[in-house]
Chains A and B, each alone.
Chain A
Amino acid sequence: MLVKLAINGEKHQADVEPRLLLVHMIREVLRLTVTHIGCDTTHCGACTILMDGRPVKSCTVFAVQAQGKELMTVEGLEQNGKLHPLQEGFMAEHGLQCGYCTPGMLMTSYAFLKKHPSPTEDDIRWAISGNLCRCTGYVNIVKAVQHAAVKLAGGA
């Protein structure tokens, strides 16, 4: 079945089996490999991408369901060679250890900060509660998101 969609503003199409999961289409068919496959059971959120602006777990969506949708992955965060404030935050605050959960953390936080530009620590912890970091590096992940919130608000 022919699936046409846009990822990070760029149009793509591929002829896929209906059972192909969206994360496999993104990684293996379109070769955008920053999005990770973690638990493959809807728990960990490493595969989180944005579909029409909302974070979803791409291991729990069929590629055919993304027909005509606008997707966003971590590849779309960097603009004109400049890292997104969230990416800078994860670097500056050491928001990643092994890095496996990071793509999902970035996309969930990206959508969250659009809706909640000045969140409390509790708000951030709520937002990322569907994304698991098995290094348990949550303290620095929260700091990284706070760093980005300040930066996006025009602060230092």
Chain B
Amino acid sequence: MIPAAFDYHAPTTIGEATALLTRLGDDAKVLSGGQSLIPLMKLRLASPAHVVDINGIPGLAYIREGEGFLRIGALTRESELEESELIRTRYPLLHDTSKVIADPVVRNLATVGGNLAHADPANDHPATMLASGAEVVAVGPKGERRIPIASFFTGPFATSLRPDEILTEIRIPLPAARSRGAYLKLERKVGDFATAAVAAQLTLDAGGRCEEVGIGLTNVGLTPIKAAKAEAALKGKNPDEATIKRAAELAAEASEPSADLRGSVEYKKDLVRVLTARALRKAVERAQGVTTRA
């Protein structure tokens, strides 16, 4: 399959890239890992007149803690996240997610920033970042702004990024002493989108109650879903079996799946219920296992 012709731009600084985007407006698409954009261009579902390849901009791929946040450069490849010792030991929710995105070869190019900016409700990082309470950094011609992830996804494949802005960094608050998460995804085969998937992140207080709760849902609506009622049902409570079950039911109610080859509406909603309960149990188990800040 041959994409429509386009002009290719390879800026080497963010300033150059945002100047190009300002000039080209809606006619331009940013090329990051390309693992969603290029297939869409081959199918001619996207035919941008200009492609702005940001891979040549140095300094956009890193994973580090600083200034109260885990900071992930937007060009960080999914495989780098998967291989990171810091992510594996301190951010199991992110580690779980990085292992189930597409397949191992695709993950060598696919980027964390691209997974969010593409805003496909079937992508995995949106739910993870909703559960983590992340924010993204966007840089435009007028400078930098920080966007809370809860207001980032505005519709299917749509975000609050302006056409002249580039997503440069993802920030996740450093986890408290007893804060851990889990991501559970049911997929028909490696490389398929989720039939449904659930991200959960919990912080337990000294008494074992849920101090902070984040729950995000993948591919069960037109946008990634933050299951706010389910989160509220856990907040301040002991995460016992009855409370987890109640939260899981509320998460299922928050989902708005459509029927497709992967299953019926009823099946997917029930899957959200089951996966939410399992993700919460796993998050509780992991959070309880943390005694010191590793």
Please report A residues at the B interface, Cβ cutoff 8 Å: 1, 17-19, 21, 40-43, 45, 48, 54-57, 60-62, 64-65, 67, 108, 126-127, 129-131
- Across the A-B interface, how many residue pairs have beta carbons closer than 8 Å? 79
- Are the CB atoms of A19 and B34 closer together than 8 Å? no
When chains A and B are docked, how far (Å) is the Cα of A43 from the Cα of B42? 14
When chains A and B are docked, how far (Å) is the Cα of A108 from the Cα of B1? 23
- Are the CB atoms of B191 and A62 closer together than 8 Å? no
B104 interface residue per 8 A CB criterion: yes
- Are the CB atoms of B7 and A60 closer together than 8 Å? no
When chains A and B are docked, how far (Å) is the Cα of A108 from the Cα of B106? 11
When chains A and B are docked, how far (Å) is the Cα of A40 from the Cα of B10? 25
- Known interface pairs A19-B4, A129-B190; A62-B34 also in contact (CB < 8 Å): yes
Kindly provide the distance from the CB of A119 to the nearest chain B CB, expressed in whole angstroms: 13
B108 interface residue per 8 A CB criterion: yes
Nearest chain-A residue to B3 (Cβ)?
A19
CB-CB under 8 A from A1, the residues of chain B are: 8
CB-CB under 8 A from B3, the residues of chain A are: 19
**A to B CB contacts below 8 Å, 19 in the list:** A17-B5, A18-B5, A18-B8, A18-B51, A19-B2, A19-B3, A21-B42, A41-B42, A42-B39, A43-B191, A45-B105, A48-B105, A55-B105, A57-B106, A60-B39, A62-B34, A65-B34, A130-B103, A131-B105
Nearest chain-B residue to A18 (Cβ)?
B8
Interface size on B, residues (CB 8 A): 29
- The majority secondary structure among interface residues of chain B is loop
User: Restricting to B1-53, which residues have a CB under 8 Å from any CB of A?
Assistant: 1-8, 10, 31, 34-35, 38-39, 41-42, 51, 53
Contact digits for B68-88, partner A, Cβ 8 Å, 1 yes 0 no: 000000000001000000000
- Are the CB atoms of A61 and B191 closer together than 8 Å? no
User: Restricting to B106-158, which residues have a CB under 8 Å from any CB of A?
Assistant: 106, 108-109
CB-CB under 8 A from A48, the residues of chain B are: 105
Kindly provide the distance from the CB of A15 to the nearest chain B CB, expressed in whole angstroms: 13
- Known interface pairs A19-B6, A57-B106, A130-B103; A62-B38 also in contact (CB < 8 Å): yes
- Are the CB atoms of A130 and B102 closer together than 8 Å? yes
- Known interface pairs A56-B109, A67-B10; A130-B190 also in contact (CB < 8 Å): yes
